[in-house]
Amino acid sequence: MPQISKKSSALPASAIRKLAPVSEAAEAAGVKVYHLNVGAPDIKSPECALEAVKAACDRLDHISYSNSAGLMPLRKGLVEKYYKKCGIELDVSEILIDVAGSEAFALAMQVAADPGEEIIVVEPFYTNYNTYAILNDIKLVAVHTNIRNNFDIPGIEEFEKVLTPKTRAVLISNPCNPSGKLFSKEEMIQLGQFCLKHDLFLISDEVYREFCYTEEPHFSAMNLKGLEQHVILVDSVSKRYNLCGVRIGCIASHNKDVIAAALKYAQSRLCPPVLGQYATIGALDTPDSYFAEVREEYIRRRDVTIKALNEIPGVFAPTPLGAFYAVAELPIDDAGEFAKWLLTDFRYNNETVQLTPATAFYADKTIKNQVRIAYVLEVPELEKAMKCIAEALKVYPGRTN
Amino acid sequence: MPQISKKSSALPASAIRKLAPVSEAAEAAGVKVYHLNVGAPDIKSPECALEAVKAACDRLDHISYSNSAGLMPLRKGLVEKYYKKCGIELDVSEILIDVAGSEAFALAMQVAADPGEEIIVVEPFYTNYNTYAILNDIKLVAVHTNIRNNFDIPGIEEFEKVLTPKTRAVLISNPCNPSGKLFSKEEMIQLGQFCLKHDLFLISDEVYREFCYTEEPHFSAMNLKGLEQHVILVDSVSKRYNLCGVRIGCIASHNKDVIAAALKYAQSRLCPPVLGQYATIGALDTPDSYFAEVREEYIRRRDVTIKALNEIPGVFAPTPLGAFYAVAELPIDDAGEFAKWLLTDFRYNNETVQLTPATAFYADKTIKNQVRIAYVLEVPELEKAMKCIAEALKVYPGRTN
């Protein structure tokens, strides 16, 4: 019997998705599971998005390939209707439509670094960065941010410390999945100066741009002066329009070599999903009121979540300023064990909660008592989920204090 | 200014898609270009596919992620409604929905071989196999098939000759893109015995299964006895239902390790495009008459193409028995130069043709006088395209005889 490759054997299963079978088993047994584990919001997509798909299905008699870089009306529309409004100036030639943010950051990483080279990330970081790093034999080197310090970015000397001759890029997500950290303009300028000084790419994953809960507008890496050749923007429509399943994102850069290289990768997969591209073309007409309402809803959800968490004895959760995740420190021995136990052993009124252990978001493997909570449910559901967590912590056998 | 990775610089641009800018320039100048370069058929999708998308858009208020392995109704439907009819027995757990055939063979290759290892291909072979081999540092080792011999598979001793301790798999496309070669049951059994003897995976790309022009039914590698742990099926709905743009395919295998490993890769890109999955669920109700009509149409197109080609002095094109491609030998110095010259310099009644040089489909770089023709246009258009080629060959400066 032929053996699968060593690379495949060594690849870790998704930390976010690997509890799915246990969770499905609980649901099959009639248990209500509150899914706080995946950033899959329950909020409606803008109607114009789904209407555009239906119109395309009426107009077209077959669904053919698009250009590998995406449909021109989509690229033009993004530049003129969306990025301009965000204060991001782009030419159509500087944008490449991708199979969601996942492909976008995978391409950005491969364009920036060769096998054996290094990319600096701020930890905690989105766990799939690590998967693509492993697949491409790129080493992620982490700069730590501390939950007790609101996940603020440390001084630039911490980045200098981990810099090596093999460093090719800094990769951030802003607002950050999982911490909810929002980078200030000053922090961005500092990071930019570091990249400029050492000739590094700055890969800025801004897929949660619409989810900022401060008065100041989001400051995009694309607006860093003097870094036009350094910045690679990673974006996605998944969260922005609640279209996670359409699998449309993009990379953008003023650096022509970056886009030309990314296009070669993109050609090998022929084209991004065309029905999703039509959904996105439609979504570009989403009224501003949609974003305002969604933002208010998430602020409500966040506030309920954070308040409830911090009222539980032994729990600490700083208030996130962006995205729709919170990282919480729990009085537990091991977040992986706890998350599994919730699904296999714990029931409160025949309900339980699915969480994601934050372990996979850290390079520092000593951090075992944090979980990521995606506050993507309606407030009454979130309240019940928080109650479940509080009750669970009363009886969890691995409780530490 | 930071430099892009060496790997990105070295990656070849798509042989099939790299003439796109020249072609677009010709079209912008008002020239009619017959696109024989891409396997992008003009045939209608089954109505049930597009109706299913519209119904999903009516039913759902947002488009969320699916399971990384694909929507359960799609996996079940493929097994029960499609594969059963093809005589391929599969369990739902043995199938993983992918982002089209492109992701399917990329996953299959990575699961089968580690960086530095080898996969045997039959040349001419689909050029993107090579792209993914480069990306994963896998070496493709070619067994040659000859245009003058109808691209028939040579004796198994030719496979034995190229076998090394690093060989992990044999990869075929059947029917073959680009040659149109259809593997007989006997050829498949021989190949299977070779894989069994040397413990190799047999990756069988059968995306053109519906396009067979002989009386005998297509013989799938999944039906090779004794090779249940060796065969990895690569499939796609792009061509079968004229849904190239929906980006849905799958891999299937009775080998549980293969599917478990592929799922780990699949989790990192979260899920396949959901609207395309709905299109495919709908497409599973396509009546048999649809396939029969499409098949007859392609036989007409093939016959017109092959007859016209062989009537041109100096041209040789064997009759393909499957897929919708033909490889033709032309009296030219260099197919790359010829294909470009057609777009930049040649006009016949202000029309021209876009072809794909077959060079990229061969590991043997001495073969420079072959082109791949996708006969994906209606007969009257094909006739005009063939006339263009005939006229072009009269005046092409690089003509060799």
Q: Is the peptide bond before A178 cis (omega within 30 degrees of 0)?
A: yes
Query: Chain A residue with minimal CA distance to B101?
Result: A269
Residue-level pLDDT, tens digit, chain A, 401 residues: 899 999 999 998 877 777 888 999 999 999 999 999 988 888 999 999 999 999 999 999 999 999 999 999 999 999 999 999 999 999 999 999 999 999 999 999 999 999 999 999 999 999 999 999 999 999 999 999 999 999 999 999 999 999 999 999 999 999 999 999 999 999 999 999 999 999 999 999 999 999 999 998 899 999 999 999 999 999 999 999 999 999 999 999 999 999 999 999 999 999 999 999 999 999 999 999 999 999 999 999 999 999 999 999 999 999 999 999 999 999 999 999 999 999 999 999 999 999 999 998 999 889 999 999 999 999 999 999 999 999 999 999 999 97
pLDDT digits (tens, 9 = 90+) for B341-389: 999 999 999 999 999 999 989 998 899 999 999 999 999 999 999 999 9
Segment B331-339 shows an average pLDDT of 96
**Type and span of the H or E element at B144:** strand B139-144
Segment B56-81 shows an average pLDDT of 96
Strands A139-144 and A201-205: unpaired
Could A62 and B243 be called an inter-chain contact, meaning their C-beta atoms sit closer than 8 Å? yes
pLDDT band at B21 (very low <50, low <70, confident <90, very high): confident
Q: Which of A57, A102, A199 sits opposite B50 (nearest CB)?
A: A57
Q: Calculate the CA A240 to chain-centre distance.
A: 12
Could B247 and A14 be called an inter-chain contact, meaning their C-beta atoms sit closer than 8 Å? no
Could B255 and A7 be called an inter-chain contact, meaning their C-beta atoms sit closer than 8 Å? no
Query: Chain A residue with minimal CA distance to B126?
Result: A268
- Total Cβ atoms within 10 A of residue A340: 18
Segment B95-120 shows an average pLDDT of 98
Does residue A250 sit in helix, strand or coil? Answer: strand
Q: Which of B41, B61, B65 sits opposite A244 (nearest CB)?
A: B65
In sign, the C-alpha dihedral spanning B129, B132, B134, B139 is negative
Strands A167-173 and A201-205: parallel
CA distance A133 to chain B (A): 11
Could A65 and B244 be called an inter-chain contact, meaning their C-beta atoms sit closer than 8 Å? yes
Strands B201-205 and B167-173: parallel
Burial grade of B21 (CB within 10 A; 0-12, 13-18, 19 or more): exposed
pLDDT for B39 equals: 82
**Closest of A306, A360, A299 to residue A140, by C-alpha:** A360
| Residues A372/A326, Cβ–Cβ less than 8 Å | yes
pLDDT for B41 equals: 82
CA distance A90 to chain B (A): 19
CA distance A125 to chain B (A): 14
Non-local (6+) Cβ contacts of A45 within 8 A are A241, A242, A243, A279, A283, B61, B62, B63
Q: Which of A4, A13, A257 sits opposite B4 (nearest CB)?
A: A257
B86 pLDDT above the threshold of 80: yes
CA distance A110 to chain B (A): 7
Could B265 and A5 be called an inter-chain contact, meaning their C-beta atoms sit closer than 8 Å? no
Q: Which of B51, B195, B273 sits opposite A276 (nearest CB)?
A: B273
User: Considering only CB atoms, which chain A residues are within 8 Å of B40?
Assistant: 64-65
B15 pLDDT above the threshold of 90: no
DSSP character string of A100-145 = HHHHHHHHHHHHH--TT-EEEEEES--HHHHHHHHHTTPEEEEEE-
Query: Chain B residue with minimal CA distance to A226?
Result: B1
CA distance A314 to chain B (A): 33
Could B13 and A38 be called an inter-chain contact, meaning their C-beta atoms sit closer than 8 Å? no
Q: Which of B1, B3, B102 sits opposite A270 (nearest CB)?
A: B102
Cross-strand bridge partners of residue B372: B327, B356
In sign, the C-alpha dihedral spanning B82, B88, B93, B94 is negative
Task: Give me A370's structure tokens.
Answer: 């944090």
Does residue B341 sit in helix, strand or coil? Answer: helix
Query: Rounded to an integer, what distance in angstroms lies between the CA atom of residue B401 and that of residue B399?
Result: 6
Residues A291, A297, A300, A304, Cα dihedral to 10°:
-130
Strands B32-35 and A370-374: unpaired
Q: Which of B14, B20, B244 sits opposite A268 (nearest CB)?
A: B14
How does A219-258 read in b/e, with b if 16+ C-beta sit within 10 Å? bbbbbbeebebbbbbbbbbbbbbbbbbbbbbbbbbbbebb
From residue A313, give the alpha-carbon distance in Å to each of A316, A332, A337.
Answer: 9, 12, 20
Query: Chain A residue with minimal CA distance to B46?
Result: A62
User: Considering only CB atoms, which chain B residues are within 8 Å of A102?
Assistant: 268-270
pLDDT for B13 equals: 80
pLDDT for B255 equals: 98
B59 and chain A: CB distance < 8 Å anywhere? no
A68 and chain B: CB distance < 8 Å anywhere? yes
In sign, the C-alpha dihedral spanning A42, A47, A48, A50 is positive
Q: Which of A1, A3, A6, A7 to mutate to test the interface with B (most CBs of B within 10 A)?
A: A7
Q: What percent of chain B is modeled with pLDDT above 70?
A: 100
User: Considering only CB atoms, which chain B residues are within 8 Å of A168?
Assistant: 2, 5
Query: Rounded to an integer, what distance in angstroms lies between the CA atom of residue A122 and that of residue A130?
Result: 12
Strands B201-205 and B325-329: unpaired
What is the helix, strand, coil percentage profile of chain B, to 5?
Answer: 45, 15, 40
Which conformational region is residue B98 in: left (phi greater than 0), alpha (psi within -120 to 50 degrees), or beta? beta
CA distance B105 to chain A (A): 11
B72 and chain A: CB distance < 8 Å anywhere? no
**Type and span of the H or E element at B11:** none
Segment B300-327 shows an average pLDDT of 98
| Residues A166/A118, Cβ–Cβ less than 8 Å | yes
- Total Cβ atoms within 10 A of residue B281: 24
Q: What is the pTM of this model?
A: 0.96
DSSP character string of A353-365 = EE-EEGGGG-S-T
Query: Rounded to an integer, what distance in angstroms lies between the CA atom of residue A394 and that of residue A389?
Result: 9
Angle at Cα B303 formed by Cα B297 and Cα B305, nearest 5°?
Answer: 100
A261 and chain B: CB distance < 8 Å anywhere? yes
| Residues B43/B265, Cβ–Cβ less than 8 Å | no
CA distance B265 to chain A (A): 8
CA distance A116 to chain B (A): 11
pLDDT for A38 equals: 86
Q: Which of B4, B14, B62 sits opposite A43 (nearest CB)?
A: B62
| Chain A 118-157, residues with CB within 8 Å of chain B CB atoms | 128, 131-132, 135, 137
From residue B171, give the alpha-carbon distance in Å to each of A382, B128, B156.
Answer: 50, 12, 14
A-B contacts (CB, under 8 Å) = 256
Residues A266, A270, A271, A274, Cα dihedral to 10°:
-170
- Write down the ipTM of this complex: 0.95
| Chain A 79-118, residues with CB within 8 Å of chain B CB atoms | 99-100, 102-103, 110-115, 117
Q: Please tell me what DSSP assigns to residue A305.
A: H
